[in-house]
Structure 1
Amino acid sequence: MSTSTSVKPALVPSRSTRSFLNPRWLPIIVLALVLIVFSTQTHGFYSLDNAKVVINSASIVGIIAVGVTAIVLGGRLFSLSVGTTVAICAMFFLYSLRVGMVLAILLTLLLGVVVLALQGWLVGRLRANPIIVTIGAGALQEGVVTWVTGGVSVYPPAHGPSYGFLAAPLFGLPFPVYVFVVVAVLGEIVRRRTVFGRQIMLMGESLPAARASALPITRLTTMAFAAAGLTAAVAGVLLGAFNQSGTLTTTGTLTYDSIAAVLVGGTAVTGGTGSVLRSAVGALVIAAIEDMLLLRGYSSPVALLVLGVIVACVVVVNHLTRRAKEAS
């Protein structure tokens, strides 16, 4: 006599649940909870006007962070010249409006791609240290721009084409917000659905293994930096249109803020693990924290110090999480 037993399948978390439980989301969740608690005691934080300020600030940082994520995912640390590239792209865009708006935008995007792609080629082809390369590239850009402009601000032509829509609100929200959403979604699609996205993740996971697998390391590194150059140029166009002038000091702490957004978003500083969408959320959290600190009367240096502490803690937590995962 035979008996049959039925075994109930184990309960497996759904894909959405597993994504939410991903420890990479932990820094964002903790920071969001802290932000909610302190923001309730911050006068003016929940006003509509302030919300627009936060979203607009996050959009510029987030656009840059999308490109920076590609560099970090590839295990190439990050570019310390991206803020300078944003500034020169803003200046170049305003000056090149003399040849028409569409051509000015295209030329600016090309400039950003070329400037960062050259750095990526040096890092990939010559195996140069990305920190040294990007610091040197930033200094070189500043020197060339200062020599060309004489150190003065760049303004658009008096009778040039209209570019006001790049800074004007659309349906109540600043135009850069819509650009931010589109860039973030496209960046995540590239990461998940393209050969480049999968290969850049593999390269970041293990560079020796990637070389042994005959992955095109130089091309991948160049493309990752080029992606950062493209998003930097987009941010430069939007900043130039908003400020209606361009100088090397236009970008402030954008380099640091974009890197912080990527790291707060859970992308491993050693590469191989991360998400463009989480970097976008990290940009929102960073912008909200900075805004809250300023509303509470703290100066910009204090806000920068707080962000430094946050980023340091996030890097340590992500490192420990990765080590625990590898050990198990």
Structure 2
Amino acid sequence: MNSTMTARPRTHATSRFNRYLPVARIVAIVFIVFLLIATFMTDGFYTLSNMRAILNSAAVVGIIAVGAAAIVIGGHLFSMSLGATVAVCAMVFLSLLGFGLVIAILGTMLVGALIVGAQGYLVGRFGANPIIITIGAGALLEGGATWMSGGTSVHPPAGSPDFAFLAAPLFGIPFPVYVFVVVVILGEIGLRRSVFGRQLILMGSSPKAARAAALPVTRLTTGAFAIAGVTAGIAGVLLGAFNQSGTLTTAGTLTYDAIAAVLVGGLAVSGGRGSVLQAAGGAVLIAAVSSMLLLRGFSPPLEMLVLGLIVGAVVILNHVNSKDGETR
């Protein structure tokens, strides 16, 4: 009798642990274990210069991932046009430098918000599929940018203000890292403390409940996409300043890198769960893994394979954790 009485609480505790253990903790544990292994097994990994390189590599991706997290938390999967938006914003930033640095930065962020926010309006107002809408928008952006630029690189006009500090180190740390930290802090505060953030989480958790509660679904969806546009604009400014030129190839694989950061961070694809900090952590983790693989002499294709396996494992873990919570 006593053994039965003592066994049940243990089983119940184990059940609760398995049910409620968030993916974020699992990812954090994996990240810590990885860093320890990398420290002892990879020469040059845990040096100050390499840490700076990791943060610099994660900064731009992490900034975009913050915006992507708003879309995912709102329950609208992903935007496939963020990379194209970043490239267009880099071109816009360089073109606007003739009007002054402040106008160029603010104008670029506004353009990003309008481009991606318009896609969010279509998704929220008409219930359009976000993947289809954003893929189409990405194609339109690429075609429009090619037509307007004549297929050539965009350079800052003569007499432009100095913008080199946007890509230069400050106190030994690359300037984009500071921007990354500020964006993450503002994003997390906005998500947790503002009415918009709380309504966005509710909408992602249960779209039907959100509509029943008369939440402004169209406005929330448009706002989430517009936030992603602002972060894409910030990334465009930083990349334009770093390259001092802008083309459609500027963004590279940033769309997929940002999505990978969100997934590795453990955000629920179904929406309603996750945080900006998780997305930022996912970007840093991916950058750290890439750095370790590079230091160990992995070829780029093999590096892509390993990163793909990590993303796949986290997605499966997230899915299993979600199903376990639903069935218990």
Deviation for aligned residue 1:21: 6.0
Deviation for aligned residue 1:104: 0.8
Change (3 A) 1:35 1:253: farther
Q: CA RMSD in A?
A: 1.5
Q: In the TM superposition, what whole-angstrom CA distance separates every residue of 1:125-163 from its partner, at most 9, and x where no partner exists?
A: 111100000100001000001111121111112321111
For residue 56 of structure 1, what is the aligned residue in structure 2?
56
Deviation for aligned residue 1:85: 0.6
Deviation for aligned residue 1:167: 1.1
For residue 67 of structure 1, what is the aligned residue in structure 2?
67
Cα distance in 2 for partners of 1:202, 1:164 equals 42
- The answer as to whether partners of 1:81 and 1:137 remain within 8 angstroms in 2 is yes
TM-score calculated relative to the size of structure 2 = 0.90
For residue 184 of structure 2, what is the aligned residue in structure 1?
184
- The answer as to whether partners of 1:28 and 1:285 remain within 8 angstroms in 2 is no
Give runs of aligned pairs for residues 277-296 of structure 1, distance below 5 A: 277-296=277-296
Deviation for aligned residue 1:325: 1.8
Cα distance in 1 for partners of 2:300, 2:247 equals 20
Cα distance in 2 for partners of 1:125, 1:197 equals 19
Q: In the TM superposition, what whole-angstrom CA distance separates every residue of 1:240-296 from its partner, at most 9, and x where no partner exists?
A: 111111111112221111111111111101101001111111111011111222222
Secondary structure of 1:75's aligned partner: coil
For residue 147 of structure 1, what is the aligned residue in structure 2?
147
Identity between Structure 1 and Structure 2 (%) = 62
Indicate whether 1:130 and 2:130 are aligned: yes
Higher helix share: 2
Deviation for aligned residue 1:35: 4.4
- The answer as to whether partners of 1:28 and 1:282 remain within 8 angstroms in 2 is no
- The answer as to whether partners of 1:39 and 1:292 remain within 8 angstroms in 2 is no
For residue 112 of structure 1, what is the aligned residue in structure 2?
112
Q: Which amino acid aligns with 2:308?
A: G
Change (3 A) 1:39 1:131: farther
Indicate whether 1:314 and 2:320 are aligned: no
- Unaligned runs of 5+ residues in structure 1 are 1-19
- The answer as to whether partners of 2:122 and 2:128 remain within 8 angstroms in 1 is yes
Give runs of aligned pairs for residues 197-276 of structure 1, distance below 5 A: 197-276=197-276
Cα distance in 2 for partners of 1:297, 1:275 equals 34
Deviation for aligned residue 1:39: 5.0
Deviation for aligned residue 1:227: 0.3
Cα distance in 2 for partners of 1:22, 1:323 equals 13
For residue 156 of structure 1, what is the aligned residue in structure 2?
156
Change (3 A) 1:35 1:95: same
Secondary structure of 1:158's aligned partner: coil
Q: Which amino acid aligns with 2:160?
A: G
Q: Which amino acid aligns with 2:221?
A: T
- The answer as to whether partners of 2:117 and 2:225 remain within 8 angstroms in 1 is yes
Q: In the TM superposition, what whole-angstrom CA distance separates every residue of 1:14-55 from its partner, at most 9, and x where no partner exists?
A: xxxxxx964432123214413431453333322322221111
- The answer as to whether partners of 1:203 and 1:217 remain within 8 angstroms in 2 is yes
Size of the aligned set, in residue pairs, is 309
Secondary structure of 1:317's aligned partner: helix
Q: Which amino acid aligns with 1:78?
A: F
Deviation for aligned residue 1:211: 1.4
Q: In terms of mean alpha carbon deviation, does 258-267 or 179-188 score higher?
A: 258-267
For residue 193 of structure 2, what is the aligned residue in structure 1?
193
Cα distance in 1 for partners of 2:177, 2:288 equals 15
Deviation for aligned residue 1:303: 2.2
Q: Which amino acid aligns with 1:163?
A: F
Cα distance in 1 for partners of 2:21, 2:313 equals 20
- The answer as to whether partners of 1:156 and 1:244 remain within 8 angstroms in 2 is yes
Cα distance in 2 for partners of 1:47, 1:157 equals 39
Cα distance in 2 for partners of 1:153, 1:90 equals 11
Secondary structure of 2:41's aligned partner: coil
Deviation for aligned residue 1:298: 2.2
- The answer as to whether partners of 2:38 and 2:45 remain within 8 angstroms in 1 is no
Q: In terms of mean alpha carbon deviation, does 302-311 or 35-44 score higher?
A: 35-44
Q: In the TM superposition, what whole-angstrom CA distance separates every residue of 1:148-207 from its partner, at most 9, and x where no partner exists?
A: 112111111232111111111111101111111111011011111111111111111111
Deviation for aligned residue 1:324: 1.4
For residue 83 of structure 1, what is the aligned residue in structure 2?
83
Give runs of aligned pairs for residues 158-177 of structure 1, distance below 5 A: 158-177=158-177
Q: In the TM superposition, what whole-angstrom CA distance separates every residue of 1:189-239 from its partner, at most 9, and x where no partner exists?
A: 111111111111111111112112111111100000000000010011011
For residue 17 of structure 1, what is the aligned residue in structure 2?
none
Cα distance in 2 for partners of 1:146, 1:43 equals 44
- The answer as to whether partners of 1:164 and 1:241 remain within 8 angstroms in 2 is yes
Secondary structure of 2:185's aligned partner: helix
For residue 99 of structure 1, what is the aligned residue in structure 2?
99
Cα distance in 2 for partners of 1:38, 1:142 equals 40
Secondary structure of 1:40's aligned partner: helix
- The answer as to whether partners of 2:23 and 2:317 remain within 8 angstroms in 1 is no
Cα distance in 1 for partners of 2:244, 2:40 equals 35
